Amino acid sequence: MFPDDIQSVHLVWVILLCFALLPEAGCRSADAGSCHEVKIAYMMRQIGPVDLVPERPGTGEPLRVCVHTGPSCCTSKMEDSYMAAVRSEMQHKMRSYSSELKYLIEGHKKAYQETFESLVSFTSNLTSTLFDSAYSALASDCRPPVFQLFSDIKRHLSGDVNSSLNNAVRQFYNDLFPLVYRRLLNPGIGHMSAMSHSTFSTNHDDCLRLTQQDVNPFGPHPRLLINSLSHALGPGRALSRLLKLAGEVVNSTEKVMLTRECGRGLVKMQYCPHCRGLTLIRPCTALCNNVMRGCLVGVSELGAPWGSLVVLLQRLAATLATSSNHNSMELALLAVRNHVNDAILHTQLHGPRITATVEKVCGPQVPGHVTMDTRSSQPHVETRATLLTSEKSGLTLPPSPPRHLWTDSKKSFPLKASKGDKSRSLKKLSREFEISIQRYQWFLSELPEMLCESEMEVEQHTCWSGEDVVESYADHVVGSTLKAQKENPEMSIRHTDPALKEVKQRLEQLIQELLVDLGWASQNRGRGKEEDGGSTQTDGSSGDNCDDEDGCKASGEGSGDDSLSGRSPETKDMVSPPRRTVPPAQNSPPQVAVHSSAHTITFEQLTLVILLLLMLSSWEPR
């Protein structure tokens, strides 16, 4: 063996002996007499001014967190810098872990909003064409009420808490009644002098609006329209409200206030080993779990209601993705045109009765003048409403809308795709969202463990226990609830963040409110035993509704893993496990009946009925 080889062998043995005498490779103690590695770590992590780190470890420094008997590379000012650093690092980690979830929520909230707006815009234009084609005398004046009605529907679908479909529909018919009364039932009122017409029209219109509930000129059709829209638009509105609150929940977790106890625990876990020159040692997993669960106890308390929120989001998305319910929203909006047409036809059929009642309450109208009929070149005389009871007069009904616009109720009009994806539809969007959101059902419950996993980048045989380098953590690991934190050996937690507590209450309240509004609350309470004994798919949940272009995949199957930590019995009772199925038929939004009795009457039959009514009216004693 050559001398160079002998020298190399000796050097290897010396290195091995040095490592054997140290607790762990890279875990050199500050007793070695230098704080160089501590200074490098302090500078690399940008904790503060590097000149705060001493060149050599010293004793007698009044430390508050990283206290031990030997020499230390830390000072009290360094501890203050470490305290600020752990708070900043914690918030950065929280934002990093929740960024994908925030993107998913915000992206789909915007995509749903664009899809809903395209649906409403389409049906708004379609309803306006009813007046252009069938009621030309009302066309120009009816555009503002139609626009306002669909603007209110858009607000309702967006989840606006101040919106009311009941008020929107009733306001629309309030604005429509004076127009129908003057232009269709009593057209002569429109030919007075400009000044007298303005004064009379304003006062008379106000009187008509006030008496509409008593007169009931549109029959049952306003109520039918309210019921149709409420059932069909309910899941879309609930989804918008939940997505909005989900975004607020995620934002609130990012801004969680770390208590002083939490800051001390984080410094003790992450930076106290630096004071001894141990810059590469990692904290024990059990120590990290105790510290993170103590710091994020308020977030963990949100875990159960958050899981319920995610399951409800999945269920709403499945409802919108299922063909029958998907068409329900389309057809309900499409049928607004037919409901309005039925209401106007009802008014014309009961014109004499309506006019007689209005004249008793609001007074008689002033006789009109000779005008030209818009449908012929022959002049005719229009007088006040009682002209309709004359034997010489006839009631001219507007033509019914083209049959191709309302007879085929099984065809759904194409959805306007969002700008980002021209082929996206409500059905495909909902299926995509249902699959994506499922991964985050236990996000808040498991967040402390996920943050600890990021600390365990290098597998080591020893770890930092908070006091020293050990082979395993000696203290017990507590649960993530506020009650369990009373036994936390690393910190004392007495209460949660008030902001997170308020968010939890809002979350639980909204979930319960939506379940009641959708009619799913009682259904979920009575469903537990059935699911334990096996479940069957409900109507509309089979694969027949899935086509190739939808990219259908089984989702929600096997997601009811109750063994996962963080799931409470209250969550199971509140919301059932996610499925591909939709709520039972009795609670599903009903299909909208586009055809009505008014549409099935032919024009000849209607004329005979009117003539008979006119003849009967002429026999009344005078």
Q: What is the pLDDT at residue 84?
A: 94
**Of 30-34, 329-333, 338-342, which one has max mean pLDDT?**
338-342
Q: How confident is the model at residue 323 (pLDDT cuts 50, 70, 90)?
A: low
Taking the alpha carbons at both ends of the chain, their separation in whole angstroms is 140
Looking at residue 201, its pLDDT comes to 60
> How far apart are the C-alpha atoms of 485 and 479, rounded to whole Å?
7
Q: What is the mean pLDDT of residues 570-589?
A: 38
Q: Mean per-residue pLDDT for 360-382?
A: 46
Q: What is the mean pLDDT of residues 102-114?
A: 96
Using 50, 70 and 90 to split pLDDT, how confident is the model at 565?
very low
Convert the pLDDT of each residue in 37-65 to its tens digit. Answer: 999 999 999 999 999 999 999 888 889 99
pLDDT band (50, 70, 90) for residue 442: very high
The whole-angstrom distance between residue 289's C-alpha and the CA centroid of its chain comes to 32
Per-residue pLDDT reduced to its tens digit, 462-516 = 899 999 999 999 999 999 999 999 999 999 888 888 999 999 999 999 999 999 9
pLDDT at 279: 92
This prediction has a pTM of 0.70
Spatial separation of the C-alpha atoms in residues 18 and 303, rounded to whole Å? 49
Q: Which amino acid is at 550?
A: D
Whether 553 shows a pLDDT value over 80: the answer reads no
- pLDDT at 414 > cutoff 70: no
Res 213: pLDDT: 77
| 539 vs 102: CA distance, rounded Å | 34
Please report the sign of the dihedral spanned by the C-alpha atoms of residue 472, residue 473, residue 475, residue 479. Answer: negative
What pLDDT, on the 0 to 100 scale, is given for residue 326? 54
Q: Give 381's DSSP letter.
A: E
Task: Answer with the residue of higher pLDDT: 41 or 18.
Answer: 41
DSSP string, 124-142: HHHHHHHHHHH-GGGHHHH
- CA–CA separation, 82 vs 255, rounded Å? 20
- How distant, in Å, are the alpha carbons of 263, 351, 500, 516 from that of 246? 28, 51, 13, 19
Nearest to 158 by CA among 102, 233, 101: 233
Instruction: Compute the average pLDDT of residues 110-139.
Output: 93
What percentage of the chain has pLDDT greater than the value 90?
Answer: 50
**Of the given ranges (5-9, 86-90, 96-100, 262-266), which has the lowest mean pLDDT?**
5-9
Residue 540 CB contacts under 8 Å (≥ 6 apart), including other chains = 322, 323, 324, 325, 581, 582, 588
Give the pLDDT band (50/70/90) at residue 147.
Answer: very high
Least confident residue range of 142-156, 169-183, 562-576 = 562-576
- Residue spans per domain, the chain: 82-265+277-455+473-527+547-622
Residue 607's pLDDT band (boundaries 50, 70, 90)? very low
The pLDDT tens digits for 177-234 are: 999 988 898 886 544 433 344 444 677 778 888 878 788 999 999 999 999 999 999 9
Helix (H) or strand (E) holding 371: strand 370-372
CA atoms within 13 A on the CB side of 315: 26
| CA distances from residue 622 to 75, 350, 360, 384, 619 in whole angstroms, order as listed | 109, 21, 17, 18, 9
The confidence score (pLDDT) of residue 543 equals 39
pLDDT in tens, 73-85: 999 999 999 999 9
Residue 130 has pLDDT above 50, yes or no: yes
Average pLDDT on 422-438 reads: 83
3-state secondary structure of 28: coil
pLDDT at 613 > cutoff 90: no
Q: Which of 502, 111, 156, 110 is nearest to 329 (CA)?
A: 156
Question: Which range (245-254, 314-323, 541-550) has the least confidence?
Answer: 541-550
Please state, in angstroms and as integers, the Cα–Cα distance from residue 401 to each residue in 154, 321, 582, following that order.
25, 31, 35
Specify the pairing of strand 469-470 against strand 463-464. antiparallel
pLDDT band at 93 (very low <50, low <70, confident <90, very high): very high
Give, for 38, the enclosing helix (H) or strand (E): helix 36-44
pLDDT averaged over every residue in the chain: 74
Predicted confidence at residue 495, as pLDDT, reads: 87
